[in-house]
């Protein structure tokens, strides 16, 4: 059969489908230009042009510059939210971990569901709130030496880190916005103290390593009311109180100073402070 323009185009389409199939099979749920270059045997520039073309054709979705995901045939929109958005985190934020309210959800410390994903990253953060591929992230920078108290989890063959239950509580007491506010943090702390993951000495160890003196004031204040005045946590926090006063809730500035904790507390608290037991 003689070669014709139509037969040439057919072979080209067939080769393209084979290459797309190879990329989708070997690239996983998230892949970069470098991944595509390796899989397809192309230079980075050619791989980038190829991915851009396939994005226009609807085979791929561009999450961020240089980062792509496959688009299922049945998908109505290229801008759909991923079934499990955590798989994007290593490529988007590098050396990082899921923390705050997102980790609290993961460890069943809360019944609340947050749409945003809370991420702590060692990369510089220009924008704290980011929306990538229709997925909202709240991002906070942390130094490399603060990467402790983490657990490895796997999502669709993607390896990432999440703060363990103790580190989650300490992070939320240090950064109240990452905890969804003091009322939510109190609920998480209550659930934490009732769980097998409750480790008071580890709470103190993590708080010391984090180096935020306000954590001991907030932790001691809550432990005194939710556990007992003579609990180990209360005694350990009193021994570590720093000079100066802190706010229990930085969003709702307190007007009542609890002198023994050097902590300003709002007169009208939005949560009940009765003991857990």
- Taken in order 119, 122, 123, 128, the sign of the CA dihedral is positive
**Which tens digit of pLDDT belongs to each residue from 119-145?**
999 999 999 999 887 789 999 999 999
CB atoms inside a 10 Å sphere around CB 6:
8
Most confident of 15-24, 44-53, 76-85, 267-276: 44-53
pLDDT of the residue at 268: 66
C-alpha 199/C-alpha 205 separation (Å) is 10
Domains plus CATH for the chain? 5-70 (1.10.10.10), 85-265 (no CATH)
Q: Which one has a higher pLDDT value, 85 or 174?
A: 174
What Å distances lie between residue 248 and 185, 217, 226, CA to CA? 11, 8, 15
Nearest alpha carbon to residue 31 among 2, 71, 73: 71
The pTM assigned to this predicted structure is 0.74
**Which tens digit of pLDDT belongs to each residue from 179-211?**
998 889 999 999 999 999 999 999 999 999 999
- Band (pLDDT 50/70/90 cuts) for residue 51 is confident
pLDDT of the residue at 57: 67
Evaluate whether 196 touches 138 at the Cβ level (below 8 Å): no
């Amino acid at each position: 059969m003689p070669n014709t323009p139509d037969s040439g185009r057919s072979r080209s389409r067939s080769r393209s489908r084979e290459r797309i199939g190879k990329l989708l099979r070997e690239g996983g749920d998230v892949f970069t230009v470098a991944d595509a270059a390796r899989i397809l045997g192309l230079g980075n520039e050619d791989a980038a042009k190829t991915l851009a073309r396939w994005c226009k054709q609807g085979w791929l979705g561009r999450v961020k510059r240089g980062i792509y995901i496959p688009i299922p045939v049945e998908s109505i929109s290229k801008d759909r939210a991923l079934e499990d958005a955590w798989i994007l985190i290593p490529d988007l934020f590098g050396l990082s971990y899921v923390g705050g309210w997102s980790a609290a959800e993961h460890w069943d410390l809360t019944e609340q569901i947050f749409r945003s994903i809370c991420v702590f990253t060692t990369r510089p953060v220009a924008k704290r709130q980011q929306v990538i591929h229709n997925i909202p992230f709240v991002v906070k920078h942390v130094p490399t030496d603060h990467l402790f108290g983490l657990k490895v989890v796997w999502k669709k063959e993607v390896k990432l880190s999440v703060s363990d239950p103790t580190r989650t509580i300490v992070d939320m007491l240090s950064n109240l916005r990452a905890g969804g506010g003091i009322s939510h943090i109190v609920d998480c702390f209550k659930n934490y103290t009732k769980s097998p993951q409750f480790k008071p000495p580890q709470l103190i160890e993590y708080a010391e390593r984090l180096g935020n003196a306000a954590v001991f004031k907030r932790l001691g204040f809550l432990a005194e009311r939710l556990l007992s005045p003579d609990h180990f946590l209360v005694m350990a926090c009193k021994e570590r109180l720093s000079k100066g006063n802190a706010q229990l809730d930085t969003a709702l500035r307190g007007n009542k100073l609890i002198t023994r904790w050097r902590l300003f507390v709002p007169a009208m608290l939005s949560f009940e402070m009765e003991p857990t037991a």
